[in-house]
Structure 1
Amino acid sequence: MNTRDRLIVALDVDSPEKAIHLTKLLSPYVGAFKVGMELFNSVGPEIIYTLKKLGANIFVDLKLHDIPNTVARASRVLTSHGADILNVHAAGGKEMMQSAAQAVNKEVLDKGLTRPLVVAVTVLTSISARAFKEEIGFAGEIEDKVVNWAKLAQAAGLDGVVASPQEIRAIRQACGPEFVIITPGIRPSGGAVHDQKRVTTPGEAIAAGATYIVVGRPITENSDPVQAARNIVSEMN
């Protein structure tokens, strides 16, 4: 895989105009674009079709988390919209994740579509060790929970997980070389951390075993987004 194909840019914007502008500007330099809750809820699923027409690969980041039937139906819809990657939340349990994977496979078979990657979100990169224990109420260490959820996602038939850079090596060891690890919480050397707690640099994430990294504000809010993206690819190398 080409290094630039491993960089996903988060389109954390609230208008189609901004999303289209960034996609056109950055497409030659990155592998895919993430459509998250802000953009999807502002514009609706039409934004997926619009960006796909520009030749972009799209990661639809809605973190589906509901009863198995509801998540299965939503997963089928997102597959039909053309998502290249979609995610559910591992906290929904094995049955929910299995339902999502099976629904995606059936939609692909029924309509002759290209199968998206289906991945599970583990512990958000904004969650600190203190919040993990004192606010959310989990016992033990974050890494242990993330690895357990990753193994559960793999057993449920999912392709991989979304996890912070700090858990990459442990997931890779537990789930093997083919398991997809998508890593947010990436900040270029010397960059601002913002609201992230468990972060690392692009080069460190790739060296640890990340399949893809997700970068938002350090690129999209930079005065020169193209150069910012090129710098991150260089750091990945």
Structure 2
Amino acid sequence: MRERNLIVALDFATKKEVDAFLSQFPKEKLFIKIGMELFYREGPEFVYHLKQLGHEIFLDLKLHDIPTTVKRAMKQLASLEIDLVNVHALGGVNMMAAAKEGLEAGTPMGKEMPTCIAVTQLTSTTPEMLSKEMDIHTPLQEHVVHLCQQVNSATLDGVVCSALEVPMIQEYFSDSFITVTPGIRRLQDATDDQARVVTPAKARELGSQAIVVGRGITRADQPKVAYEEYLREWRQ
């Protein structure tokens, strides 16, 4: 996965909505994220459809199960020829290693294996949630670094994290350890249900290698204009 990607989260429920959104980008080959809602409704055929249009795909399913189940699931997902896929780091080292084994086994001959990253803590997670609801009393950023160590031990490619945690992660890991950061909003956009939010420019300053933007683009009055503004602020 090349650096400085802007990944557009397709926060839609149906293929019809996605096609209407993408029709506003007739000449653009986007890096797009398909989440649970869309994948569970439209299924693998829709992934094939988007790949045929030339878009890069981040399949965001956050797999978290016993190692054997995750391995078998990843073998199936690899056959879709997606570009990026993820698991949840809280599943443990063995589960994450099994995910990579599944991807290796399922990648078609002659094709590149999908990049595999792990979710650390969601950008909706607050320190209070971590302590009171999850009963984890390590400070949030330190806990994220701990999870990154598990991800690195499993030889995955990197993590999904808040941009606020990227500088600390970079202290411990090489530049090849990918940081994909959601929770990105321009100053004029609503934060919605995100807690740890930064602007595209701040994410760049903090060292993020890729940002994920959903509603700031997909719900904008002029999505293409919003996309170009996010891209300009991210890459300037």
More displaced stretch, 63-72 vs 174-183: 174-183
- Does structure 1 retain, via aligned residues, the 8 Å contact 2:126–2:195? yes
1:202 match: 200
Q: Which stretches in structure 1 are left out of the alignment for 5+ residues?
A: none
Find the aligned partners of 2:25 and 2:161 in 1 and give their Cα distance.
24
Distance, in Å, in 1 between the alignment partners of 2:186 and 2:166 is 17
- Contact 2:123–2:182 (Cα < 8 Å) also in 1: yes
Asked if the contact 2:120–2:161 (Cα under 8 Å) also holds between the matched residues in 1, the reply is yes
- Distance across 1 between alignment mates of 2:149 and 2:207: 16
Partner of 1:182: 180
SS of structure 2 residue aligned to 1:190: coil
Q: For 1:30 and 1:148, locate their aligned partners in 2 and report how far apart those are by CA, in whole Å.
A: 36
2:170 corresponds to: 172
Q: Structure 1 length normalisation: TM-score?
A: 0.94
Q: Given that residues 168 and 210 in structure 1 are in contact (C-alpha distance below 8 angstroms), is that contact kept between their aligned partners in structure 2?
A: yes
Separation in 1, partners of 2:28, 2:164? 26
Q: If the length of structure 2 is used for normalisation, what is the TM-score?
A: 0.94
Query: Once the 2 structures are TM-superposed, how far is the Cα of residue 76 of structure 1 from its aligned partner?
Result: 1.1
What is the distance in 1 between the residues matched to 2:28 and 2:230? 10
Q: Is the 8 A contact 2:117 2:158 kept in 1?
A: yes
Choose the corresponding residue for 2:110, options 109, 112, 115: 112
Aligned partner (choices 134, 156, 159) of residue 158 of structure 1: 156
Preserved contact between residue 188 and residue 232 of structure 1 (Cα < 8 Å): yes
Change (3 A) 1:205 1:179: same
1:8 aligns with 2:1: no
* 1:147 alignment partner in structure 2: 145
User: What's the CA shift for 1:205?
Assistant: 0.6
Structure 1 residue aligned with 2:134, among 119, 133, 136? Answer: 136
Partner of 1:85: 84
Corresponding residue for 1:32? 31
Correspondence list, 1:18-29, <5 A? 18-26=17-25, 28=27
Aligned mates of 2:159, 2:181 — CA distance in 1: 9
1:154 touches 1:160 (CA, 8 Å); kept in 2? Answer: yes
- Aligned counterparts of 1:136 and 1:44: Cα–Cα separation in 2: 32
Closer, same or farther: CA 126–30 of 1 in aligned 2, 3 Å: farther
Query: Which stretches of structure 1, 4 residues or longer, exceed 6 Å deviation after superposition?
Result: none
Q: 1:35 to 1:64 in 2, by over 3 A?
A: same
> 1:50-99 CA deviation, whole Å, 9 max, x = no partner?
11111000000000000001001111111101211000000000000001
**101 and 175 in structure 1: CA distance in 2 versus 1, 3 angstrom threshold:** same
Once the 2 structures are TM-superposed, how far is the Cα of residue 111 of structure 1 from its aligned partner? 2.9
Aligned residues: percent identity?
39
Change (3 A) 1:127 1:14: same
Paired positions, count: 235
More helix by share: 1
2:122 pairs with 118, 121, 124, which one? 124
- Cα distance change of structure 1 residues 27 and 131 upon mapping to structure 2, 3 Å threshold: farther
Using the alignment, how far apart are the partners of 1:95 and 1:218 within structure 2? 36
Alpha-carbon displacement from aligned partner over 1:114-148 (angstroms, at most 9, x marks no partner): 21110000100011111111011111111011111
Does the 8 A contact of 1:107 with 1:113 survive in 2?
no
Q: Output the amino acid matched with 1:211.
A: Q
**Partner residue of 1:58?**
57
RMSD: 1.7
